[in-house]
Amino acid sequence: MPTMHFLTELQEYLKEHGIIYTVRRYRYDHDKELVFIPGVGGCKRQFLLEDIIKWDLKDYYSESGFDTLDDWWNKIVKINPGLPPLHLYKVEVIRRL
């Protein structure tokens, strides 16, 4: 099972809420939907959108671990300089540690 990592505060959000939407620069293999997240447990990762822009995230930010769409987008831009193609995933806890 592949491992997926999150910023500490987002890992805590996932532990508490059991679901999180996350943006990644990588397009993960669809056949590797089950992932292990350290400190959380086994999770299901579901691909939702590719080549996203800020406004694509408006319906997802409330379960992103961020307070506003702007907060989430600003963190995405900071972590991904030059904004490569970005992909949106839904991650759900299926087996807690």
pTM of the prediction? 0.94
CB contact set of 14 (below 8 Å; sequence gap of 6+): 6, 20, 37, 40, 43, 65, 91, 93
Residue 81 has pLDDT above 90, yes or no: no
Helix, strand or coil for residue 5?
coil
DSSP of 22-69, one letter per residue?
EEESS---TT--EEEETTTEEEEEEEEEES--GGGGTTTGGGTTSSSH
Four-point Cα dihedral 23, 28, 30, 31, nearest 10: -140
10-23 average pLDDT score:
98
5-21 average pLDDT score:
97
| Main-chain dihedrals φ then ψ at residue 20, nearest 5 degrees | -155, 145
- Res. 26 pLDDT band, cuts 50 70 90: confident
Distance CA 96, CA 71 (A): 28
Q: What is the pLDDT of residues 63-80, one digit of tens each?
A: 999 999 999 999 999 999
Q: What is the pLDDT of residues 39-57, one digit of tens each?
A: 999 999 999 999 999 999 9
Distance CA 12, CA 57 (A): 21
Q: Domain residue spans in the chain?
A: 8-96
